[in-house]
Each structure stands twice: as C-alpha cells, then as structure tokens.
Structure 1
Amino acid sequence: MPLTTDAVLTLVQQVAAEVVTPRFRSLTESEIDEKQPGDLVTVADREAEELLTAALLEAYPDAVVLGEEAHAADEGLLQRFREADHGFTVDPVDGTKNFVQGSPDHAVMVSEVVDGETVRGWIWQPEHQVAWVAERGAGTRRNGVPVVREPAGARPRGATSIWSRRGRQPLGLPALRGSWVCCGIDYPRLMEGEADYLLYGHTNAWDHLPGSLMLREAGGAVAHRDGSPYTARSDSPGLVVAADAETLRLVLEACEGIWPRTGS
C-alpha cells in the first residue's frame, strides 16, 4: 500500500529512534569502518538503510531504492536508479563524520523520484528534533510550518566544505565560510538564512535530492556548475545551491574560476 508523506516521515523517525540515536556518542571502534580513507560508515548507517529499504520496497515493490551503502557495494545500482520509472534514495546517516565525532549535526534523509523528477523529500535531524518535508508543487514544511526563503540580496554569503581552506574565493563576493559538512544540515541552514548559497563538488543523489527539492519548493534554485539543471538523472560535476534564481546566476559567474579541475 502506498505510503503517505506523513507515514514516510514517521518511518524515518522510528528507524532513527531504533538504530541511530541509541548509537549517538556510544559507538565502539568495532562499529566504525572506512569504505575508503576518510569515508566513514557505522553500524547505524547499515542498519538504518536496511530497515528503510525493506519498508519502502514492501510498500513499492517495483521501485528501485538507491541507498548510499548499497551503492558502495553495487555501483551498478546508480544506473538502475537513473533509468527507473520510480525510485527512492536513502541516506541513513548523512553527516557520518559528524555523527562519529559526537556532533548533533547529522540527519536521516529519503527522497522519492518519479520519471527522473524528485516528487517528495524528507530530512529528519534527530538530535535537533526537526523534520523537513517537501512535496513537489506543495511547498516545504519545517515541523509542519511552511517555509519560504527570502531572496539573498546583492552580496550573498556562501558556504562550502572543500574550498574555503584552499584560498579559492568567489570573485567580488564575501569570502566563503565552511559548511556544516552534512547536506541534511546545510540545506536547512540555507533555508533558515544562515547562508545564501552552497557549493558542492559531488552531486550524489542521496545527498542532494531531498534538500534540492525542499529548496526549490521554498523559492530557491539549484544548478550544476555549468548552469544545467540538477535532476535525479544528472551526472555532471559541481553543484550550486542558492537562495533564489538571481543569486544562482550571480554565483555561477563569480565562482566560475574556482572549481577544482576534476570537479570533485
């Protein structure tokens, strides 16, 4: 039986309460691994993804569920997701480094995609007790309250996790600050006005589909570094996430020369 938007949120919250929150600041060394140097995964990531994937497939047996950890084990899953008529993304613990380090800035995220377009998105920040939910054409809500992001103005403030410490700065705009190193925190902070734009090298669907839908529904804009649209079927590098369309245009021009050559 199809799940309502509120039912999916309840599912995400229940899974977090069952297997994520009990591990917060309680992980042992044996419960933390590296998929590759610096890329951490915990028992909470694996268990949460398994529970969320099983519940989504029970409700939608024909959907393709793209989980971050499943993708790490099967890279072909990404292409099957892009080609699917119906799919979901699951990021079981977004901000795993923060989670491991004991920072409350982590989240559980899910999105639903139909014919390559994100139609619903959920971000649950368990330690902050804040739920962000969006439906295409129906807006974005923070703990049930509609959210509208106001335009940024002439000198937008940007944040990123990869260039601020390397001396690369946007032309004619304030210096970049560090992001919160977690898309499930970054996008909400932008919608709350703590930054006006975000720059990303990676464009992983599980990281960006929930937040990008929310931001667009709240009045923001998202595009690849070349200005092309970001969708569930995108494979171009570099992402600009902005408070409004004019800020997006301005930032694309101001940041044209600072992207890493590989786009990573």
Structure 2
Amino acid sequence: MIDRSAETALIELVREVAKAEILPRFRRLDATEIDTKSGPEDLVTAADLAAEAKLVEGIARIMPDAEVVGEEGVAADPSRLDLLSGSGCVVVVDPVDGTWNFARGLAVFGVILAVVEDGRTVFGLLYDPVFDDWFAARRGGGAWTGGAGRVDRPLTIDGTMPVSEASGYVPVNLYPEELRMAVSQATFRTGGARSLRCSCHEYRLLASGAVDYLISGLLKPWDHLAGALITREAGGFAAMMGGQPYRPFTTEGQLVAASSYPLWSGVSELFETALQSQMPASSTSS
C-alpha cells in the first residue's frame, strides 16, 4: 500500500500539471491542437498529450518502481493494458477526462488517477482543475474531499430511495445502436438519467450524494478505477452487473455504481432485464 506522503505527492503533482499544461489551453485550443482517435467523438488534444507526459515524468520521481498506464500511452501502445493483469504497482491516469467537453470550452473535465497494487486499486483521485479541488480514497481508509486552503472532509453516502426515485448517469450513446432504445426506456423507470461525458464529475457527484447511480458499458480503466474505489469507500457499492467484482483488468460487461447496495441491486436488475430483452433468444436461453 502506498503511504500518505506518496498520496500527497501525487495530488500535488496533478495540481501542478493541471495548472501548467491543462488550464492554459482551456478555451485557447487551435484547431490544429485537436485530433481524433477511434472516431469523431473520441478526441485528443495538445493538453491531453502534454499533461500525460508531465504526469509520467512526475510519477517516475515519486514512485520510481511503478509502471504507468495512461490513456494516451495506451492509444499509442495497447499492449500497456496488460500491465494491469500482472503484479507490482501500476499508476493509471486519464490526463484530461471529458476531452470532448474540454475541446468545446465546457468546464466539465478533470484529471483521474488510480494506483493499482497486485491487481487491486488502493488509491483513487478525481481532480477538478477549474476549482482546484479533489475527491480521493484509499483502500480500507475511507473517502474524502479536499482542496486548496480547505480542510479534508470525509465523504459518506447511503442511498435509501427506491429505484423509481433514483437519478443517475447512463451514457446511452455509448451502447450499440440495437440496445439504445431498451437502455433509454429503462431510464424512464428511474428518477431520471443523463450524461456529463465526464466520468470524473459523474463519480464526484455520486460520491457527494448529488446523484444516486451510474452505469457504464465502456470499461476503460482510467475512467472507472478511481471512481469505483471512491464510491465503495464512501459507503456505496460498485460492481459488475450480475455481481462480479470490477477489477483493473475488466474490459467487458456493465459496471454499475450506486449510493448503496440495495439501490445497486435494484438498478442492476432493471437494466439487466432491459438489455436481456434485446438479446437473441439463443444467447439468453440456458
């Protein structure tokens, strides 16, 4: 388990990199500084690349024995994801989560960092560069929120509302086209669902009690490892739909996070039923 001094150093590194490489480019990007990766909605900017490079350098100083798995590094070399299946320490970073928002001048973006040791997430950080504050958690040590000039405050959630009153985040557009209608219709049986296009802020709002659940079928480790840990340490529950643990190397399936286990169970059942209704009969029968 990393010690408190390393946690503090990582938080300070993220703050410094955001101040130097991300914020100066916000709403100042030239068209030549925005590119696409897997498709027109999957963007990368000069800020993503510069911030990840500085984070990699800083992590090497703070934790010289750790490997780094970054979103942009994996885009260049997908084999780096294999590091999450092995032993040892791996730091997972998303240098600008919510790049689509960032590139369009929307102040809904953040930096996500998670530390994985021997296949378990032991530290997670969700950082907001605009307000210079963060949500963080250590495995077995609780979750908290902090910020510049602020005293750390514990995070505690315990959702007691029925599914029909629970509001959350469901990125319907990320599902295959043939499943979108069923997923969308399922959201109408909850208290409402939307998407911020930013895992960092979606998990922050869940951990603060502002929303009650979130679902994702696109499992990139830099998007979810920190948020899932923070949810659990704050008193909520996060696992794969069906109950399997969510692990750093999990890449397929539906991840559900909620402010309590009973709510997680109800939301999972609702959306699992909706998804199964669209599956071919041969794949749903046993």
The answer to whether the superposition gives a TM-score over 0.5 is: yes
Aligned-partner Cα distance in 1 for 2:170–2:199: 11
- Tell me the residue number matched to 2:156: 148
* 1:57, distance to aligned residue in structure 2 (A): 2.1
One-letter amino acid matched to 2:262: E
1:248 matched residue in structure 2: 264
Any idea what SS the aligned residue of 1:195 has?
A: coil
**Residues 174-230 of structure 1, C-alpha deviations (whole Å, 9 max, x = no match):** 254212111100001112222211011111110001111111000011111232110
- Bigger shift: 84-93 or 122-131? 122-131
Runs of 4+ in 1 over 4 A off after TM superposition: none
> CA offsets, 1:21-45, max 9 Å, x none?
0001110001100012221000100
1:7 is aligned, of 6, 9, 34, to 9
Distance 1:12 1:145 in 2: 20
Matches of 1:139 and 1:104, distance apart in 2? 28
Q: 2:95 corresponds to which residue?
A: 92
Q: Would the aligned equivalents of 2:83 and 2:90 in 1 still touch at CA under 8 Å?
A: no
Q: Is the 8 A contact 2:217 2:252 kept in 1?
A: no
Question: Is 1:122 the equivalent of 2:125?
Answer: yes
Does 2:24 correspond to 1:22? yes
Q: 1:1-264 counterparts in 2 under 5 A? A: 3-37=5-39, 38-143=41-146, 144-155=152-163, 156-162=166-172, 166=181, 168-170=184-186, 173-174=189-190, 176-259=192-275
1:135, distance to aligned residue in structure 2 (A): 1.0
Higher CA-based Rg: 2
> Is residue 109–residue 128 contact of structure 2 (8 Å, CA) maintained in 1?
yes
Q: Is the 8 A contact 2:10 2:62 kept in 1?
A: no
Number of aligned residue pairs: 261
**Separation in 1 of the partners of 2:87 and 2:69?**
11
Partner Cα distance (1:247, 1:175) in 2? 12
Asked if the contact 1:169/1:176 (under 8 Å) is kept, the reply is no
Distance 2:187 2:34 in 1: 40
Q: Confirm or deny: 8 A CA contact 2:241 2:268 kept in the other structure.
A: yes
How high is the TM-score relative to the length of structure 1?
0.92
Q: Percent identity?
A: 34
The structure whose residues are more often helix, as a share, is 2
Q: Which AA in structure 2 matches 1:17?
A: K
TM-score by length of 2: 0.85
Measured on the aligned residues, the alpha-carbon RMSD in Å equals 2.1
> Per the alignment, do residues 112 and 171 of structure 1 end up closer, same or farther by CA in structure 2, a change over 3 Å counting?
closer
Unmatched 5+ stretches in structure 1: none
User: Does the Cα contact within 8 Å between 1:121 and 1:135 map onto a contact in 2?
Assistant: yes
